[in-house]
Amino acid sequence: MGSRNHHLSLFLLIFLMLLALSGFPNAQAQAESRLDITSSDGSKFPVVSLNVIASTGDSSRLSDLSGLILSEAGQQIADYEVAETYVGTELIFIIDANASIGQRDDAGGQTRHEKVRDSILRYANQFMDEEQLDRVSIIVPSEDGADLLLDRAVFPNAVINEINFYEALPVDPTPLNEMISLALDRATESYGDGRFQAVVLFTDGAELDEQLDYPTLVDKAQAINIPIFSVILGARADEDEITNVNGLSQPTRGSYVHMPEPTGTDPLYSLIQSHGPQFQVQYRSRLASSGLHDVAVELAGARAETQVEVEVAPPATEIVVDNSRPIRRVVASPDDPLTSAEPASQPIVARVTWPDGHPRMLTDATLLVDGSPQPPASNPELSADGLIILDWDISNLDEGTYELFVKVNDELGLQGHSNVLPMAIIVEGLAGEVTETMDTAPANEVEEGTDKAFQDLVQNLSLAGLAIGLLALFGAVIILILALVLLRRRRRTKAIKAQTAVPTAQSASPGEHEATQVIMPAFAVQSSASAYFEPLENAPDHGNNITLTSNNVAIGRDPKLAQVVFADKSVSRLHARVMEQNGVFQLYDEGSASGTYINFKQITLKPQVLNDNDDVHFGRVHLRFHVVPTVEDADSTQVMPSPVRSDEASPMAAEEDLSTQPYMPNQPGSAGRPQAPPPRDAPPPATDEDEDDISTQPYMPHSPRR
């Protein structure tokens, strides 16, 4: 009996070992924690920045990097700083739209497709970054294979629009392996952007073990450290469905959630978005040579490596002192020693530049005189212009020429040095120089007298030139005044002649009066402006610009109701109207279902003015409005008929002197122009025949994709 139990236990143990090694999805082990360097930046060398993602085995973000070990070129860096910087996320949705996608799990409830739609809408509305740093793609099945419905959209409105208008046509079986492979390929292409990437798979999970090549997909995901999260659809999640999705999720640091309602994915979205901000590690590099250098970080047994490329060159130094004049040292009394001469020290200015474009700190700077070093300056600070001042002790130096030389060392141990600059010193006032000074005194006095006479001459000439200049200016002013007086008299004469010409024509006989016309010069008038729409998105039926040919243009999907027609389903049969009056264009919404937008803001039934270069949306149709003003010929003339007296004129008209009223031509096109429609409180009631076959979700416009 004992032997039989022993054999039974041994058989059971062997069976369990075979099950563990059989490669079933549920036998996959949970992946280790993740440490990944998403980017490295050496542009501000010697300061180097690293962006780091650190997470647990299920991709939960670590709260800090306590215990992080940083090394560069094999040498550990102890001093570094950790901050956070928002990089964004890249999320790829995969919709396994098989035969069950239209199923309702409870009577009167939403279909699975509607739950998936609302879940993605929640992500776009509540979780995407407003600064457009997040990216979203959507992959769906089609009869031809995997279809990329949305590719790396950065605007929440773009995600909202695509998922609202997506019609899930069941494909059974779905090309799910191809769809996941496409998602991983797209993620590989953008891996270098540095965002946290994730795949979210909506599926019922029932047939994954028959559809997927688990080893190949897992290897592709692990190569770029991208987790695959699974969302199980249906009223419940069975054990076989959980086992199937875990075959993808567990080895890629992902997980699964069951979604009986759209809110079930909120915790998953919160986890993904927590990786939008990444850890930024900054340190001062010690690299003293150009090229690629290895940098590594370690934390809790996980390790990540990258390479930093730097270009390093020694500092360049030059002395910027003017040596064309000697340094003069003066002794107060001939009997005083040389050491009493002033000045006793001389500042030497040197400029330090960086040929590699990376300014650094200096550890020391030294001035050498004839090869002998002066006391060095420790940790000198450079000015904004890269200047440094060193003191030269000249208290014991006699007359002569000395060779100056400056060298500096930077924080990387690289040394720069200047060229040799000769500098002369003259000492005045020592014994033996008095006679020479007295002999030269008369010459100096003569020279000073000559200089004074020359200065007096220059001053007299300056006063004479000033007087001549004032006289010339006064004459110019007189000439200008005379010219203005003559010009005014000439204009007045012309005006008098013009005024006397009109009464001559009016003094004619009554019969001649009717035929008389006064010719008035025409003035330039602004004619009615022309305008057109430039198609940008979702208007394939209009390849060229859409010109507005009248001042009342209806826009819609029904050719019987609209002059400008778009076939897109988001456009209502009668969607909107553009009216123009006196060169002003106004846009009216005709009670459309998908809405009318100007510059991404929805307009109401109240008319809104259209300006040049405005972005306009009719549902999903995206256009740009342009105005082209036209001006009539300003050189033409207009013939003004003389007023004709009529015996049938009204008494009020008879009292007015019509002949003195100037003729004012009407603005072109103003006659008969329709006025703006009266305000409408509500759109006209729609009949069954007038309903538009579009989604009930409102359209949210967005800028064109980047």
Q: What gap in Å lies between CA 541 and CA 558, rounded to an integer?
A: 14
Across 84-88, 201-205, 263-267, 581-585, least confident range: 581-585
Closest CA to 191 of 230, 217, 220: 220
Identify the pLDDT of residue 664. Answer: 37
How far is CA 348 from each of CA 255, 379, 394, 558, rounded to the nearest angstrom?
69, 17, 12, 86
pLDDT of 497 higher than 70: no
Closest CA to 316 of 357, 278, 344: 357
Q: How does residue 513 score in pLDDT terms, banded at 50, 70 and 90? A: very low
pLDDT of 662 higher than 60: no
- Work out the burial of residue 542: count CB atoms within 10 Å of its CB; fewer than 13 is exposed, 13-18 middle, 19 or more buried: middle
CB 197 within 8 A of CB 188: no
Identify the pLDDT of residue 642. Answer: 41
pLDDT of 300 higher than 70: yes
The residue-averaged pLDDT of 578-587 equals 91
pLDDT of 510 higher than 70: no
Q: What gap in Å lies between CA 530 and CA 669, rounded to an integer?
A: 12
Identify the pLDDT of residue 354. Answer: 96
The amino acid present at 21, given as its one-letter code, is L
CB 205 within 8 A of CB 244: yes
Identify the pLDDT of residue 33. Answer: 81
Q: How does residue 500 score in pLDDT terms, banded at 50, 70 and 90? A: very low
Identify the pLDDT of residue 7. Answer: 52
- Model pLDDT for residues 673-701, shown as the tens digit of each residue: 344 444 444 444 444 344 444 444 456 66
The residue-averaged pLDDT of 601-629 equals 91
Identify the pLDDT of residue 10. Answer: 53
Q: Report CA torsion sign: 245, 246, 250, 251.
A: negative
pLDDT of 489 higher than 80: no
Q: How does residue 389 score in pLDDT terms, banded at 50, 70 and 90? A: very high
CB 108 within 8 A of CB 263: no
Identify the pLDDT of residue 270. Answer: 96
Q: What gap in Å lies between CA 180 and CA 228, rounded to an integer?
A: 9
Tell the residue number behind the tokens 């999320």, with chain if given: 91
Give the count of beta carbons closer than 10 Å to the beta carbon of residue 309: 11
Tell the residue number behind the tokens 């690629």, with chain if given: 292
How far is CA 618 from each of CA 154, 466, 572, 590, 623, rounded to the nearest angstrom?
21, 74, 9, 11, 8
CB 257 within 8 A of CB 224: no
Q: How does residue 702 score in pLDDT terms, banded at 50, 70 and 90? A: low
Q: What gap in Å lies between CA 692 and CA 248, rounded to an integer?
A: 42
Strand partners, 242: none
Q: What is the percent of the chain with per-residue pLDDT over 90, rounded to a whole number?
A: 58
Q: What gap in Å lies between CA 375 and CA 392, rounded to an integer?
A: 9
- Work out the burial of residue 667: count CB atoms within 10 Å of its CB; fewer than 13 is exposed, 13-18 middle, 19 or more buried: middle
pLDDT of 154 higher than 60: yes
- Model pLDDT for residues 390-437, shown as the tens digit of each residue: 999 999 999 999 999 999 999 999 999 999 999 999 999 876 554 343
- Model pLDDT for residues 364-380, shown as the tens digit of each residue: 999 999 999 999 999 99
Rounded to 10°, the helix 266-273/112-126 angle is 40
Domains and CATH numbers, the chain: 34-84+280-310 (2.60.40), 89-275 (3.40.50.410), 316-429 (2.60.40.10), 529-629 (2.60.200.20)
- Model pLDDT for residues 616-643, shown as the tens digit of each residue: 999 999 999 999 876 544 444 444 444 4
CB 195 within 8 A of CB 272: no
- Model pLDDT for residues 78-127, shown as the tens digit of each residue: 999 999 999 999 999 999 999 999 999 988 899 999 999 999 999 999 99
Identify the pLDDT of residue 5. Answer: 52
Identify the pLDDT of residue 87. Answer: 95
The residue-averaged pLDDT of 506-510 equals 39
CB 422 within 8 A of CB 402: yes
Mean pLDDT of the chain: 80
pLDDT of 202 higher than 60: yes
Identify the pLDDT of residue 130. Answer: 85
Q: Which two tokens stand for residue 429?
A: 């006032």
Q: What gap in Å lies between CA 184 and CA 254, rounded to an integer?
A: 14
For the chain, the residue count is 706
CB 92 within 8 A of CB 183: yes
Tell the residue number behind the tokens 């002013």, with chain if given: 477
The residue-averaged pLDDT of 356-360 equals 93
Q: Strand, coil or helix: what is 309?
A: strand
Q: How does residue 527 score in pLDDT terms, banded at 50, 70 and 90? A: very low
The residue-averaged pLDDT of 243-250 equals 94
The residue-averaged pLDDT of 457-481 equals 72
Q: What gap in Å lies between CA 139 and CA 113, rounded to an integer?
A: 14
- Model pLDDT for residues 167-190, shown as the tens digit of each residue: 988 888 999 999 999 999 999 999
- Work out the burial of residue 368: count CB atoms within 10 Å of its CB; fewer than 13 is exposed, 13-18 middle, 19 or more buried: middle
Q: Which two tokens stand for residue 686?
A: 């729609």
The amino acid present at 383, given as its one-letter code, is S
Across 2-6, 98-102, 163-167, 241-245, least confident range: 2-6
- Model pLDDT for residues 28-66, shown as the tens digit of each residue: 444 578 899 999 999 999 999 999 999 998 899 998 898
Per-state percent for the chain, helix, strand, coil, to nearest 5: 30, 30, 40
Identify the pLDDT of residue 293. Answer: 94
What letter would DSSP give residue 224?
Answer: T
Q: What gap in Å lies between CA 183 and CA 150, rounded to an integer?
A: 12
The residue-averaged pLDDT of 585-610 equals 90
Peptide bond into 25 cis (omega under 30): no
